[in-house]
Structure 1
């Protein structure tokens, strides 16, 4: 089955290419912020919404003005893509998937997207519009054979590293089917505990570099604003953040790939991380662990390789329900890691018991969904609206 897949590589542009890319970043950022201001003003003043077509026409008129003639010095394609990104951001906002779009800042991550008519793909090299020579790309892994990029996105992170993301249509072969099924209980003390008894520890990447990060941030705060020393200190802080993010991303990618390859059905809880991080005691640890990213990776990899990901309801009492007899405790605090069932006397490890319950419920949900007759309404996993009392 063919899927659109992005391959990301490190790029080392020449000084001339860096200048062109920097101008493109600045123009894209300006156009995005200008369009966002236009949409907001139109909504509050005229009570109507502007779409991509309306903003594109206004952008054409804006370029004709003498004060904004510098917008024509870069390729027009990334500017149009910036308008499309804003249109997508508003769509996500109105459908409840994201917050209201915010203005892009110069100090944050910069990006520019080039469609197929704004770059040249020849002999395994990419030359962007307005550039005379191809980019120096470090091909850490080959692109699929006979792949033709449909778009490329060049980015610059806060640590001054350049990356290019190449979008291609890839033929992904589904993995051979097996009968393995696991339940995964996500936690803080152990990152994930599987129903097979395997325990994957929490790497705590942020915690390991927290002291170095705090030291670098203190030095940055003491530097004079606008000085070169402050820029150097800011770069050191950004590199520590990048190191933390890279290590976490690498860990999650390897773990999610292994779980998908080894198991036909993976059952997890649909956690409300947005609400959980409001806990003042555990918010830093919850943000560091990366539960949402793991579930997101499991979701798209299961779709790629023909696996099944089942997300059970977040109110299901997986930890305080006895896997042997089904008895549910009235309360179970976080400091209790092992407990005995008062009904049948079974001794439980908190996390393994929860993983077994998640597996049992997940298999039941999966069997029910597969038995739904064609044309019937199918409930998405994890979207069932149930209160806590419904499980008691």
Structure 2
């Protein structure tokens, strides 16, 4: 299976570059909307009454479109052809709706083929725009392992008090993203059994508070007097448990290792 990577960078264009970006957004919007207009003229038999102008012909018709990247216009043309292919696909299980006109108020974007942009010295070079300053993602060289709980998300959603918060947090999606990101960088994700009492167990001595409720935000150990935020306590327990799972026991100074 082929895995495709997508990278997102925040850009900091100059005023002149921002003007050029807006021109590009506007021109690719013209290409898309022109194709939508022609598409909407289909007759009942889905036969085109006329062919849309290619991006090359549109550039000749509107001289101001020559100020932006021709590749960006061609990519938008390709995008619409891809949409039409999916729209008329007989093998597609779920039909997609008719194309919509794009406006200035919607999401503004354009695509360029790989050879039309390059990345170097914290700048990305875009055709007809120039070198735009960007902020690169930070590397994660020091963390070789990630320890998390195997939460019973489906069961937690059944709790009406937690359902909305759990759904909003999207724990399952977080785990999926963490897993494939870790795989890219040869990191390991260790999942701890969902029945491990990470919140109820003292991370210092191992005493367990069976009466701890969700409303108790501070964990206080009645055996050793250790007091800590319940989430911080749980994270320490998850770390210690995971280290034992991978045979790398680490015991906090002055504390006893929790029994398995």
| TM-score bracket, shorter-length normalisation | 0.5 to 0.7
Asked if the contact 1:188–1:202 (Cα under 8 Å) also holds between the matched residues in 2, the reply is no
Match of 1:7 in 2: 7
1:368-379 paired onto structure 2 within 5 Å? none
Match of 2:206 in 1: none
Unaligned 5+ runs, structure 2: 190-260
After superposition, the Cα gap between the structure-2 partners of 1:102 and 1:121, relative to the gap in structure 1 and judged at 3 Å, is same
CA-CA distance at 1:141 after TM superposition? 2.8
Match of 1:75 in 2: 69
Match of 1:189 in 2: 160
CA-CA distance at 1:60 after TM superposition? 2.3
After superposition, the Cα gap between the structure-2 partners of 1:47 and 1:93, relative to the gap in structure 1 and judged at 3 Å, is closer
Per-residue CA deviations over 1:322-364 (Å, capped at 9, x if unaligned) read xxxxxxxxxxxxxxxxxxxxxxxxxxxxxxxxxxxxxxxxxxx
1:102-251 paired onto structure 2 within 5 Å? 102-132=100-130, 134-142=131-139, 184-185=154-155, 186=157, 189-190=160-161, 202=165, 251=169
Q: Of Structure 1 and Structure 2, which has the larger fraction of its residues in helix?
A: 1
Match of 1:37 in 2: 37
After superposition, the Cα gap between the structure-2 partners of 1:141 and 1:127, relative to the gap in structure 1 and judged at 3 Å, is same
Matched, 1:59 2:55: yes
CA-CA distance at 1:44 after TM superposition? 1.9
* Alpha-carbon separation, structure 1, partners of 2:162 and 2:31: 42
CA-CA distance at 1:256 after TM superposition? 3.0
SS of the residue corresponding to residue 30 of structure 2 reads helix
Per-residue CA deviations over 1:19-52 (Å, capped at 9, x if unaligned) read 00000000011110101111222x22884259xx
Asked if the contact 2:55–2:73 (Cα under 8 Å) also holds between the matched residues in 1, the reply is no
SS of the residue corresponding to residue 130 of structure 1 reads coil
SS of the residue corresponding to residue 109 of structure 2 reads strand
1:301-380 paired onto structure 2 within 5 Å? none
Asked if the contact 1:17–1:131 (Cα under 8 Å) also holds between the matched residues in 2, the reply is yes
Per-residue CA deviations over 1:91-117 (Å, capped at 9, x if unaligned) read 443432532211111111111111113
Match of 1:156 in 2: none
CA-CA distance at 1:183 after TM superposition? 6.2
CA-CA distance at 1:300 after TM superposition? 8.4
Q: Of Structure 1 and Structure 2, which has the larger fraction of its residues in strand?
A: 1
Q: TM-score, normalised by structure 1?
A: 0.37
The aligned length equals 176
Q: TM-score, normalised by structure 2?
A: 0.53
* Alpha-carbon separation, structure 1, partners of 2:46 and 2:71: 30
Aligned alpha-carbon RMSD (Å)? 4.3
* Alpha-carbon separation, structure 2, partners of 1:80 and 1:117: 14
